[in-house]
Amino acid sequence: MEQRVTIIKKDSDDPNIAYWASQTPQERLSFLETIRKEVIKSKYGIDPGFQRVVNIIKR
């Protein structure tokens, strides 16, 4: 997967910029989390989360 960075001025007429600028930080993070889960599932074929559960007990 090739990573690419594009620099765009704030006053650009791009509708994507206007949309994301109108979202709250919580909404942006929520969407980012959704994308993260989709990428993990498509790349590794598993649901994201803990792969193992460990119980630690004091003796």
Across residues 14-41, what is the average pLDDT? 90
Q: Is residue 4 left, alpha or beta, with left meaning phi > 0 and alpha meaning psi from -120 to 50?
A: beta
The pLDDT tens digits of the residues spanning 33-52 come to: 999 888 888 888 877 666 67
Please report where in the chains the tokens 């979202």 appear, as a residue: 23
Backbone angles phi, psi at 12, to 5 degrees: -65, 155
Mean pLDDT of the chain: 84
Compute the distance between CA of residue 52 and CA of residue 1 in angstroms, rounded to an integer: 28
Across residues 14-20, what is the average pLDDT? 85
Upper half-sphere CA count for residue 58 (Cβ side, 13 Å): 0
Nearest to 18 by CA among 8, 31, 7: 8
Look up the pTM and report it: 0.56
